[in-house]
Amino acid sequence: MSGGKDDMLLEVTDLSMRFALRSAPFKPKRHVHAVNGINIRLRQGETLGIVGESGCGKTTLARCILRLLEPTGGSIKLNGRDITHAKGRALREARRDMQFVFQDPYASLDPRMRAFELVREPLDALTDLPRKQADERAIALLEKVGLTAAQARQYPHQFSGGQRQRIGIARALALNPKLVLADEPVSALDVSVRAQILNLMADLRAEFGLSYIVISHDLAIIEHVCDRVAIVYLGRIVEQGAVETIFNAPKHPYTEALLAAIPDPDPQQRRRAADIQGDLPNPSAPPPGCAFHPRCPKATALCKQQAPEPRMLDGREVSCHHAV
């Protein structure tokens, strides 16, 4: 997406998040670098996909951006304001512009509250809107996401999984945010319902001018809803760029393997071979050099000794010594 500095919504620079591990007395402390020097730029109205295996740091990254976790390094700017260490009123104001759609549409909803109360809750917490107007807005948002005014008085257990996720989306929209982070928003839903939720998110993006960060391990979903994609491996972005550019011609071996794993609906079509082996390394003791080298079919002695720096190549940013 083209645009100037004025339409930059989110700037994440060299963001890091590490967690201390419990260690025995008199032994050096160990840490897990869940997020390790990540850079992201998101423009208004744009949708960015974050992709990677389980445990690569995707959700931790989202929680740092939302300031649910205090980053240990780097900076986060929202609308040009640095919110990296914002507290109190400044943090509350920032959170009005950022909302979260959780992976589990049942666990994220209080079972003791009715649907309209769940949607009204952010309004009660962060605005001075009178109760009657807040109720009216909550019901209007539920109708906007495809539920009825009668359903607004039902409890979460009375809804299907797809309907519960619609409630979660309505709640995320209550404060008119500029940015919505969605963590695996359809992974807990039946396949028949996923397309409905994804299409709903696309419609709301067009209507409200939303920007999304969509976290997923499903590249087919990312291809459907996102403008750009960032591929994350062991807390670092290894490839980042336009979805069409990366999906048509991936440069990093890890991206190639992820794309090779997408099922092809044509039974006559041969699947590309995925050459990587094994699981993610232990994040508390990452490999030296390029963290991907123990699993990479292209690894050389250089990869084992030196971590690659990100560089621009054919319209995307890639961190690989041997990308051509």
Which of residues 156, 175, 194 is at a domain's end? 175
pLDDT digits (tens, 9 = 90+) for 225-249: 999 999 999 999 999 999 999 999 9
Tell me what the pLDDT averaged over the chain comes to: 89
- Note whether residue 102 is domain-resident: no
Which residues lie below 8 Å from residue 70, measured CB to CB, with a gap of 6+? 85
Same-domain pairing of 284 and 155: no
Domain count of the fold of the chain: 2
Q: What tens digit of pLDDT does each residue of 174-209 get?
A: 999 999 999 998 887 888 888 889 999 999 999 999
> Which pTM does this prediction carry?
0.89
If asked whether residues 221 and 291 sit together in one domain, one would say yes
The pLDDT, as a whole number, for residue 266 is 64
Closest by Cα among 191, 197, 215, 241 to 57: 215
Q: How many helices (H) and strands (E) does the chain have?
A: 10, 12
Answer yes or no: do 203 and 296 share one domain.
yes
The tokens for 53 are 């295996």
Q: Which domain holds residue 12?
A: 7-21+31-97+177-318
Mean pLDDT of 92-96: 90
User: Residue 216 in 3-state DSSP?
Assistant: strand
- Please say if the pLDDT value at position 2 is more than 50: no
Q: CA dihedral defined by 150, 122, 203, 222, rounded to 10 degrees? A: -120
Average pLDDT over residues 308-323: 94
Query: Which position has the higher pLDDT, 178 or 284?
Result: 178
How are beta strands 228-233 and 47-51 bridged, if at all? parallel
Who wins on pLDDT, 273 or 255? 255
* Average pLDDT for 83-99: 92
The pLDDT, as a whole number, for residue 121 is 95
Neighbouring C-beta atoms of residue 176, cutoff 10 Å: 12
Q: What is the pLDDT of residue 24?
A: 65
pLDDT over 90 (residue 158): yes
Whether 106 and 161 have beta carbons less than 8 Å apart is answered as yes
Per-residue pLDDT tens over the stretch 108-133: 899 999 999 999 999 999 999 999 99
Q: What sign does the dihedral 191-219-237-213 (CA atoms) show?
A: negative
- In this predicted model, what pLDDT tens digit does every residue of 69-79 receive, in sequence order? 999 999 999 99
> What is the arithmetic mean of pLDDT over 49-62?
91
117-122: list long-range contacts, CB under 8 Å, 24+ apart.
118/156, 118/167, 118/171, 119/167, 119/170, 119/171, 119/174, 120/174, 121/171, 121/174, 122/171, 122/174, 122/175
Boundary of a domain, candidates 133, 148, 175: 175
Say whether both 142 and 280 belong to one domain: no
If asked whether residues 183 and 168 sit together in one domain, one would say no
Q: What's residue 272's pLDDT? A: 57
pLDDT for residue 273: 54
The more confident residue out of 48 and 22 is 48
Report whether 233 contacts 75 (CB < 8 A): no
- CATH of residue 297: 3.40.50.300
Indicate the residue type of 13.
Answer: T
Q: What is the dihedral of CA 158, 173, 50, 203, to 10 degrees?
A: 90
Per the model's pLDDT, the better-predicted residue between 213 and 265 turns out to be 213
Split at pLDDT 50, 70, 90, the class of 105 is confident
DSSP helix/strand/coil, 316: strand
